[in-house]
Each structure stands twice: as structure tokens, then as C-alpha cells.
Chains A and B, each alone.
Chain A
């Protein structure tokens, strides 16, 4: 009698067509990501229609690769998981309908998964969660502090009031005429420069865990503009370093404050910006001498992937989440609401 449990998950919320298979919630047995970054480069950002076209071209190829990598068949699966939202609707729809096709054909239960829950759960592939836990979610579309008192129990205690951190990175990267995607480019430049320019930090109200990055973006624009009017020029490396220091300072300070106030056991860093070296270093430094455990996923699990959807999906599956055949893509799916589905 084999009691191992397998879940296959599909992720197509943005520009990666990904399929992964997870064993017993935390053991990754396949993780395939077909990236489209090259196709979007000449447009300076992800083009939703082009992303969707790639997904439909890649979907069954990626599925086959994942099953081959795991040495398993669909018959071995206990459930099929898929990113239901948030994300680009046309892109999500390819994954959602493909997942329904597989689940229907093979009589398997279907589980819809929240993309951000996935990003948070990516850390659980490395280390078991100890609640209460605080997640710092930083990506192109999100900057949030999420408190978790148990599995799939999400409370957003702070979020951005305007731009997400990743958005600010992209905008500043464009100002500095860096190639797409801009975030990693700024991170790379920042490592070579010095934070000589004093950019503002938006702390907001004393008791707030919210963020704001639009002012910082304007400050960068003004600084560059004023300098060029005077015929001066900042080294791009220094602009990048100064900008990054401001972002990272706010993120790590607020995370530390919230982690202390809520007496959490772990801090989990999640989302594409978690790949940022400057942020990883600053957070490591911040939590070094505390008894709070800092979890940052390896680089390949920070960017979009299906491994994170599979591990989050396995938890949702265990809690009784089941999607019906009318499952749709939900580009604006709410994290807290999603978590409540599991409390049977």
C-alpha cells in the first residue's frame, strides 16, 4: 500500500508556462518552467496577448516534460492544481482550461490556487512553516505584509497604497534606460555603485505597515532632471544604489517592526523581488541577531513557477478546497477570501 500523495500543478498567470509535481506537500519531483522573457523584450514589458499565445503553444509540451522528469503518469496524481488568479486573465485562462481538461479526462479532483499564496508557500519547500509567520510579498504587482496564524490563513496587515516595489524598480530602470526586465538590472548596477544620493523613505503613519513607492519614483525623476539642468550627471550605478537602498530600507524596517509586534516565529520573503540581492542581504542583516527565522526561497523559486503552486495546492487540497467544472480565471482574486475557502 502506497500512501504517497501527488499533485500536479499548472501556472500560467503571466509570462512563464510552468508545470510541477509535488509529493506529500513538500517534496518536489518535477519543476518545469518555459520562460518567454525573450519574446517580450522588444516590447519593453509583458504583452498579454503574446503571453497567452505562448502558453497555448507550450502547455502540453511542458506537461509532458514534467511527467517525464518525475517518471510518473497522470494516473499517479491525486489531484490537479492550477493558478486561478491573480494575473493576466487571458494567460490564466489557458492554464485553468488545460487543468480542467486533465482533471475531467482523468477523473481527478481540481484545486484552484492563489498565485500569491503560491509565492509564500515556495519557502515551505525548503523548511517547514512555524506559525505565526509573517510573509513579505514583493513582486511586480504586489508589496504586502501578510500574517499567517496557520495553513492557508492569510491576514494582510500592510500593503502598498500606490506602486508595488517591483513597479518602482521597472519605472526607475526605464529612466536609466536599462533593458527589460529592469529589476535585476538595477540590482546588478546597485552592487557596483554607492548610495550617495539621499532619496526619501515613505514611512507613512507611525502604526501603519502600509507602503508607498510613487513618491520615491518622482524623487528619482526630479533628482535626475535637476542634475541635468545644472549640467551635472549622476553615475547610473549610484542612482541605482541610492534608489535600492531607499526601497530596501523601508521594506526591511517595516518587516522587522511587524515581525516583532506580532511575535512571529518566521519571516518568509516571497515574490519576484525576493530574488533581489540587495533585499536578501538587508533582510539577512536585519534578522541576524534575532530569534526570528528568515526564509528566502532559492532564486529559481522566487520568480514565477509551478512548484510553489503545487505545494500551496497540496495544502489547499488537504483542507478540502475543490473547484467545480465551472472554475474560471480570477484576475483579481483576493488572498484573504481564498484562504477562508479551506476552513471547512
Chain B
């Protein structure tokens, strides 16, 4: 079983190739640079160095969001068109679940999150076996923290945006807050591939991004209808 994993849903650009359960190649950058320009050259290089031809792939895994709307679509357009062209399944995995896997060996609950601006985050809560404890959502961070504090358990906060929320988290969570080292704050595409192996594929046509947020124009329009 050979899998190509693609994640461009946030700052991370991640590409991995898994062959028969072995991670033969993994490429991660964490720089705010154009994913559209860099993704296909990264895939090309990864495939060449691992001596994998597109025809040898059995599955594509892609992080389907939440994250940057445009970033999510860059990965999805690439993954969907490759799966369509090769006639192989494509599996979409939550970008939050991929990130949560960085806490695999943590004894407690894991809270991955991405900055959604204006004090809000995309987040969810997982246990060490990656079972969903609280469904992913787009929520005000303080409101979220008050909610997960009720668990009265140590919670590992995993995020590339940790720095900007650290004080708020410590303020509300107190000693329940646990922070990983920098090496564990970023989603890894090999975890994406491993998640995909356990998830049934949907049809290529039906696979959609999970934005967790309506377009701004639609939010405004809905508000206007309420009046």
C-alpha cells in the first residue's frame, strides 16, 4: 500500500510518501510562503527521491481543513485531480486530527488549534487514541477554554499559533495546561497518511474541504436576513 500525503491547509507545507507502512519520505516546511508555487515541486522531488512513480500510488491522503481557505483548496485541488487521474481513492483527514497526533504519547487530552483571527480558533479535543472527545469547531478561544477546563484533566495544547495564545491558555487553564516543545507544534504529513489508512475513502467527487466557517459575504447576508 503506497500513499502520498499532502497538507497545505495551514503554514505547514507537508508531503510524505508511505510505502507498505514505512515512512520512506517526509518533507515539512513551516514558512509563510506560497503553497501553490511550492507544492508540486515538493511532490515531484519527494516522488523522485523515494523512487515512486505516480502509477505506483494506491491512495492519496489530504488535510481537508480547517485552515486557510485558499491553502486548503490548493492541497485539495492537487489531491483530487491526482486521485481522479490515477483512478485511486483519496481520503480527506481533518487538519486538526493530524496536528493532534503530535500528542500521541501524552497521558491526557489533546487540544490542537489554529488561529481563526479576532480571538477565535479552529479547534477540537482528542484523547490519546485519537478518539474525538469534543467535535471540531470554530469558537472564541476564551469560551472554548472555559469549556475544556471542566474536564479537570491535563490538556496538551498543540499549535503553531501557541505563542499568541499561551497567556490566555495559562490564565484560564492554570496547571491543567501542558505545552509541547517546538518540534511537536507542527502537523506532520506522515501522521496524515497513517490517519488516512484507518479512514474509509469517499468518492473523489464528493470529497469537500471542511472550512468550519462560512464565507464572509454569506455571514453578512444571513445576518441581514435575520433583521
Contact = CB atoms under 8 A, between A and B. Distances in A.
B175 interface: no
Nearest to A61: B205
A49 interface: yes
A180 B221 CA distance: 16
Contacts of B36: 93, 96-97, 328-329
B217 A50 contact: yes
A61 B41 CA distance: 26
B69, B79, B84, most chain A CB atoms within 10 A: B84
A328 B34 contact: yes
Interface string B21-49: 00000000000001011111101100000
A146 B79 CA distance: 38
Interface in B42-78: 43-44, 54, 69-70, 73-74, 76-78
Contact of A105 (B70, B74, B86): B86
A89 B78 CA distance: 16
B200 interface: no
Contacts, number: 113
A291 interface: no
B151 interface: no
B218 interface: yes
A49, A60, A327, most chain B CB atoms within 10 A: A60
B77 A59 contact: yes
Given A97-B36, A328-B36, A49 B217 contact: yes
Nearest to A57: B208
Given A59-B77, A97-B36, A47 B215 contact: yes
Contacts of B78: 97-98, 100-101
Contact of B77 (A56, A104, A324, A327): A56
Contact of B218 (A50, A97, A100, A104): A50
B209 interface: yes
Contacts of A55: 73, 77
Contacts of A47: 215, 217-218
B204 interface: yes
A117 B40 CA distance: 26
A102 to B, nearest CB: 5
Contacts of A100: 40, 78, 81
Contacts of A329: 36
Contact of B40 (A43, A59, A90, A325): A325
Contact of A98 (B38, B70, B80, B217): B80
Interface string B140-153: 00000000000000
A101 B221 contact: no
A178 interface: no
A64 interface: yes
A41 B80 CA distance: 28
A326 B41 contact: yes
A230 interface: no
A101 B82 contact: yes
B80 A102 contact: no
Contact of A101 (B69, B79, B208): B79
Nearest to A60: B84
Contacts of A105: 54, 81-82, 85-86
Contacts of B218: 47, 50
Nearest to A12: B77
A102 B85 CA distance: 6
A64 B39 CA distance: 24
B81 A102 contact: yes
A64 B205 contact: yes
Interface in A125-164: none
B157 to A, nearest CB: 29
Nearest to A97: B77
B221 to A, nearest CB: 6
A107 B55 CA distance: 10
Contacts of A95: 77
Given A50-B217, A63-B84, A97-B77, 18 more contacts: A49-B69, A52-B73, A56-B77, A56-B80, A56-B209, A61-B205, A64-B84, A90-B70, A93-B36, A97-B40, A98-B78, A98-B80, A98-B81, A99-B81, A102-B82, A326-B40, A327-B40, A329-B36
14 contacts: A50-B218, A56-B76, A60-B205, A63-B84, A94-B73, A97-B40, A100-B81, A101-B40, A101-B85, A105-B54, A106-B85, A326-B38, A326-B40, A328-B34
Q: Which 6 A-B pairs have the closest CB atoms?
A: A101-B81, A105-B85, A97-B77, A325-B40, A49-B215, A98-B81
